[in-house]
Structure formats: structure tokens, C-alpha cells
Amino acid sequence: MIDWVRVENLRQEIGAADFAEVVALFLEETDEVAARMTAGPGLRGDLRADLHFLKGSALNLGFRALALRCGQGEDALRDAEGSVDPAPIVALYHATRTAFLQEMEQDQIRNSANSSSLVMSR
């Protein structure tokens, strides 16, 4: 579901502080897109553009399964008669988001515990 190697590479590339900013911005923007994708008729934006945005954002943060699903949706919409139900894609986004945040929280707890044990051992 999540490419944790990509997540760690991104964190190392940009540093912990900037990584936290990137994650916050990612979640803010993708939450908005996900909400728009499941809005009622007439309130939705351009679904293909939303799928494209979500795919690119997901790839940047390692949400591999979501990016794949969004790409499949984009492909289906290229067909003149193609259609996509955004609800399963948005559900996958929320599941991935939850898993990501839980792992990030666990990672912070592990890092805090390691830092505390280093300080105590001095």
C-alpha cells in the first residue's frame, strides 16, 4: 500500500522539518480533493484532473496503491464512454492516509524512546 522506502528517501532528501511540512501540505490538499471527488452531482470538479493530481501527490509521498488506482481511473476516463466511481478511490485514500499517519506516530514514539534512553544512559 505504501512505499516506505520512498517515504524514508524523501525524509532524508528534504530533512525532518521540511518533511513534516510536506506531509501537512499533502494531507491538506489531498483531503480537499478527496472531499470534492465524493461531493454530490454538480459540486464535483473535473474528476480526471482530480485523479491526476491525487496520483502525482500519492507518488511523491509513496502512496503506491493509491497512485496505481488513480492512474487506472484516469485511463478509464480517457475512453469516451468510460466512467469511474470515485468512492472506492477515496476510501483507499483514507485507508492509506490512516496507515501512514499511524506509522508516522509510531516512528515518532520509537524515536522519542530512543532519544530518552540515550539521554538517560549518559
Q: What domain count does the chain have?
A: 1
Residue 80: closest CA among 48, 112, 119: 48
CATH of the domain at 71: 1.20.120
Domain that holds residue 89: 4-121
pLDDT single digits (tens) 89-105: 999 999 999 999 999 99
Distance from C-alpha of 31 to C-alpha of 37, rounded to nearest angstrom: 10
CA atoms within 13 A on the CB side of 51: 21
Q: Answer whether 65's CB lies under 8 Å from 1's CB.
A: yes
pLDDT single digits (tens) 47-97: 999 999 999 999 999 999 999 999 999 999 987 777 899 999 999 999 999
